[in-house]
Chains A and B, each alone.
Chain A
Amino acid sequence: MDEMLQEFLTESAEQIEAASAQIVAFERHPEDESLIASIFRLVHTIKGTCGFLGLARLQRLTHAAESLIGALREGAKATPEVVSAILAAVDRIKALLAELEETGQEGDGDDSDMTDLLEVQVARCKGRGGEESHVAPVIVAETARPPIAAEAQPARHAAPSQGESAQGKRAETIRINLNTLERIMQLVSELVLTRNQLLEITRHREDDTIKPPLQRLSAMTSDLQDAVMRARMQPVERVFANLPRMIRDLATDLNKKINLVTAGGDTELDRQLIELIRDPLTHLVRNCADHGIESPDERVSLGKPTAGTIRVAASHEAGQITIEISDDGRGLNLARIKDKALKLGLTTEPQIERMTDEEICRFIFAPGFSTAEQVTNVSGRGVGMDVVRENIQAIGGSVALTSSPGKGSCFALKIPLTLAIAPALIVEANGQRFALPQHSVVEAVGLDGGEHRIEIVQGSKILQLREAVLPIGDLAELLELDRPPQPSDAAGQLAVIMRVGAHAFGITVDAVIDVQEIVVKPMGGSLQHLAAFSGHTILGDGTVVLILDPNGLREALGLEQAREAAAAQAEAARGTEADKMRLIYFRAGAGVDKVLPLSNVARIESVPSDRIERANGLMLTRHQGRLMPIVAAAPDVMVKDGDNTIFVISPGSEPFGLLVDGILDIVDDKLDIEIMGDAPGVVGVTHLNGKVIELVDIAYFVEMLRGPEADGTKCERRLLLVDDAAFFRDMLSATLLASGYEVVKAASAAQALAQVARNPRFDAVLIDVDLPDGAGYELAARLRGAGARAPALALAPFASREIVRAAAAAGMAGAVGKFQRNHLLGLIRACVGAGDDGRESFALASGAAA
């Protein structure tokens, strides 16, 4: 692309961003002439350059926008309509610039709608310039009008000084290619390492001639490092700049009045990090506007000012940047969070009783957690807070949350200044040193027989530390380091406590040797797959050490994100909301009452006794024009005179009737199979509303009816069904058997692998995505590795979009809910069919699943 055009694009992008922020500020402070002058200048510059570069479309548009801004400059009132029109024009300009950047030329198109809109506003301004605006401003936003005067400079100050500094700086700045800057950074990093090595070498030498110059070199290297770091720094202002506009739009969408206060915009942060915090920050601000701030009426009734305030403040302390996003809204609803956490099975009643408010608040960071009753297009989709936390953690930061009911909430993001250099603990295990990033280290605790001891509970190591009970592992064991011939006395005597997200855990090491600033270097390709390490570095003495990845350690400890991730998709048969299913509760014969998932029952029919015929030892009735076999749900269920209740079970093409004594109830409940049944026709025994009931085994009846016939004609299609819940194994296998598939059941990943080892010829593999001994997604790959070439389908209580996506990412052919019988059968048919036409075409199936 033309160099001049490139430069124009870079500059315009910045100018446009600045302009839209200033327009919103201007709406609030129409008396501030310097603001509008500055906006006018920005748009004018773009217009001028467009003319020069021959960009006619942009020129026309900017010209129209300039006219309207000019009218404002001449004293027209900045009504919300005018501001909206200008903002719309700014959006269009941005879109055109984006297109220009992508294609290198202006796209065809007509902006007369926009120019007309702008002209109408110009005419209105000119005509009725002096008139009072009849609409109250929809939103009041200011860049810095703090409730407490000392906290930030008033907007009047901020804006002109910005303008001035932008003007003043232009003479002193040059644009540097980012790669050049990165290269300098790299070289400085190397220099720092070499300096450290030199210092280490000379530390043990009594040589006075070399020390003074070396010290100077050392000091200068530090200064140089600082200076280069600073060159990469940019003010957080860059992220703040688009907030006023966003708040304005949100306030309009939500019918709320919201003030935005920003402070500390000049706090500097590494360029790379600025981009990385943009999304999380935006999300949190949206969240405050959507969930935090009450509607104007509600606020008035609470005696609060009509307009809510969202405050975004950045500050720099102790090598970290803190960004606080707070609002004066309703605060988090603890009761609702508790409720939801319990429902999702994230915790238990007794646990939650002991939790502090802060701990309860943290549940909102769990995946799939959203307490919004109504899903709005702003937030409340239940993906978000977990993503925010993950993104912040990925850059070595943390999110803290405080909330007081009725007064508001505050999210505090703590972010390291830079990613390239990080403080780390140098720890030793079995004589090998490792670097442990300090950002996730909470504390180090001595274990020498004192109050802190490691106990073995159920085969796992547990550390009791004050109130907390922490999982703990030995670093040398986790990494499977060779044991030295003579373990030192210090072995495993020190526990380093770490926190990753909501998880605190410990690892034992032999010693903490040092705290050093390390230059983080990514692992080379051949070792990149090691989850326990995030990179490597060279220490002052020249030795290479591996940098431990707290996330990887947590995984090595076996702490899956289980408790959090569990949420909706988790452990089906174990008592989360997801397992709640509609159950039909009935009586059949003597003995306890029985239950069957309603999903297994296609219809409930009332059949008069005279329509039940007996032939060849079978009961038959006419159902939808065909003869349908009937079996008794228990041996002692007899056909009664008069009406008989029959469940029509339609596992596939051949429906059959299940004769029962009577329906008792239909309930929504979860099923915990407590005792496996060995009586024929019973999956197991469970509790429902305090009563013991039996879960009926549909598979048994299907087999009974198909019986000899099924054995004779060997099924051609062979399926592998992996699910740890017996209930689902039986339910699904019944469905599948009835549809003519041969089903091999496995209750665990190990069993599945064993089955594949025995005979890898399967036509499709169905895997529960949340197996206890290895996530289902992983198992798909392992089975493939073991030789099962069949397409794999992910089974979940509900095939949410995340699951479908994760399944696709894991190379699975699709995902389906366990209760979506028809969908499941359809997918299997697609997979099995694809197997005939060529293995690659099963992508089709995943399309169907999505």
Chain B
Amino acid sequence: MSVEPSRIAREMSHGAAGALDGYFSIKVADDLFGLPVTRVQTIFRIGSITRAPGGPRDIVGLVNLRGKIVTAVSLRRRLGLAREEEGPGSLAIGIEQGGEAFALLVDEIGDVLSLAPDSAITPPPHIARGRAKFAVAYHRINGRILPLLNIEAVFDFSGDR
């Protein structure tokens, strides 16, 4: 099993206690999202995945994170992007939400960004409804627009059954 806790993650989550405005930039396909550092418990590469037959489409399966069973969710599928086979070795972010442990599978984890309140912009009005719910806010940073990931919505499958 290839559990590989990222050193950055550990350093960051330690440093994160003071920096409430710290956000990881995470990438899937060409999409970039901000994810609060404080919500990230660990970053790891998943080992084998156990599929959960009959479960929501976006749940890739269950993975073993150091003796704990976590539900692996593909951000790619969640956003309705082209499907790439997630499997052993995929990059995952450990997040707890609603009492359940999740692993969010992403393509890349980038730098930690500091966001100031004044960089927030009003949400672009034409975002497709299926996508809009996955962002809680939009920030303009270094000339790019960065949506902040709505963690609750990402891990809420009540509408998918």
Contacts and interface: CB of A to CB of B under 8 A. Distances in A.
Contact of A542 (B47, B52, B56, B157): B47
Contact of A532 (B53, B56, B67, B161): B53
Given A194-B67, A538-B64, A543-B50, A524 B161 contact: no
Contacts of B56: 526-527
Interface string A523-563: 01111011011001110001111100000000000000000
A149 B54 CA distance: 57
Nearest to B3: A542
A480 interface: yes
Contacts of B61: 544
Interface in B52-96: 52-56, 59, 61-64, 67, 69, 71
Interface in A549-597: none
Contact of A546 (B48, B50, B100): B50
A543 B1 CA distance: 9
A525 B71 CA distance: 10
Contacts of B69: 521, 524, 536-538, 544
Contacts, number: 66
Interface in A173-230: 190, 193-194, 197
B101 interface: yes
A533 B71 CA distance: 15
A546 B61 CA distance: 10
Contacts of B98: 525
Contact of A529 (B48, B51, B100, B161): B161
Nearest to B158: A526
B67 A193 contact: yes
A46 to B, nearest CB: 41
Given A190-B67, A536-B69, A544-B69, A526 B157 contact: yes
A536 B100 contact: no
Nearest to B49: A544
A546 B59 CA distance: 14
B99 interface: yes
B24 to A, nearest CB: 22
B55 A524 contact: no
A546 B52 contact: yes
B155 interface: yes
Interface residues on B, range: 20 to 34
Interface string A453-478: 00000000000000000000000000
Contact of B54 (A193, A525, A530): A530
Interface string B36-55: 00000000000110111111
A385 B59 CA distance: 41
A194 B59 CA distance: 26
* Chain B CB within 10 A, most for which of A190, A536, A537: A536
A481 interface: yes
B161 A546 contact: no
A786 to B, nearest CB: 15
Contacts of B155: 526
B40 to A, nearest CB: 19
A551 to B, nearest CB: 15
A479 interface: yes
A532 B62 contact: no
A432 interface: yes
Given A542-B64, A544-B69, A527 B59 contact: yes
B53 A524 contact: no
Nearest to A197: B67
A185 to B, nearest CB: 15
A532 B55 CA distance: 10
Contacts of B161: 529
A193 B65 CA distance: 13
Q: Is the interface of A mostly helix, strand, loop or mixed?
A: mixed
A527 B71 contact: yes
Nearest to A481: B53
Contact of A432 (B1, B51, B55): B51
Given A480-B53, A526-B155, A526-B157, A544 B63 contact: yes
B100 A525 contact: yes
Nearest to B1: A542
B64 A479 contact: no
A206 B67 CA distance: 25
B53 A538 contact: no
Contacts of A521: 69
Given A525-B100, A529-B161, A545 B50 contact: yes
A536 B62 contact: yes
A533 B53 CA distance: 9
Contacts of A432: 50-51
Given A526-B157, A538-B69, A480 B62 contact: no
A544 B50 contact: yes
B67 A538 contact: yes
A487 to B, nearest CB: 17
Interface in B109-141: none
* Chain A CB within 10 A, most for which of B54, B56, B98, B100: B54
A481 B61 CA distance: 13
A82 B62 CA distance: 64
Contacts of A193: 67
A543 to B, nearest CB: 6
A524 B101 contact: yes
B99 A525 contact: yes
Nearest to A529: B161
B63 to A, nearest CB: 7
Contact of B64 (A524, A525, A527, A544): A544
B90 to A, nearest CB: 15
A524 B67 contact: no
Contacts of B55: 526-527, 530
Contact of B100 (A480, A526, A533): A526
B118 to A, nearest CB: 36
A524 B71 contact: yes
Given A481-B51, A533-B52, 20 more contacts: A190-B67, A194-B67, A197-B67, A432-B50, A481-B53, A524-B69, A525-B98, A526-B55, A526-B59, A526-B100, A526-B155, A527-B59, A527-B62, A536-B62, A536-B69, A538-B67, A542-B1, A544-B62, A546-B53, A546-B62
Interface of A: 190, 193-194, 197, 432, 479-481, 521, 524-527, 529-530, 532-533, 536-538, 542-546
24 contacts: A479-B53, A480-B53, A480-B54, A481-B51, A521-B69, A524-B69, A525-B98, A526-B100, A527-B52, A527-B55, A527-B56, A527-B62, A529-B161, A530-B54, A530-B55, A532-B54, A536-B69, A537-B69, A538-B69, A543-B48, A543-B50, A544-B64, A546-B50, A546-B62
Interface of B: 1, 47-48, 50-56, 59, 61-64, 67, 69, 71, 98-101, 155, 157, 161
Sorted nearest first, the 7 A-B pairs with minimum C-beta distance are: A479-B53, A524-B100, A544-B50, A544-B62, A526-B157, A525-B100, A530-B54
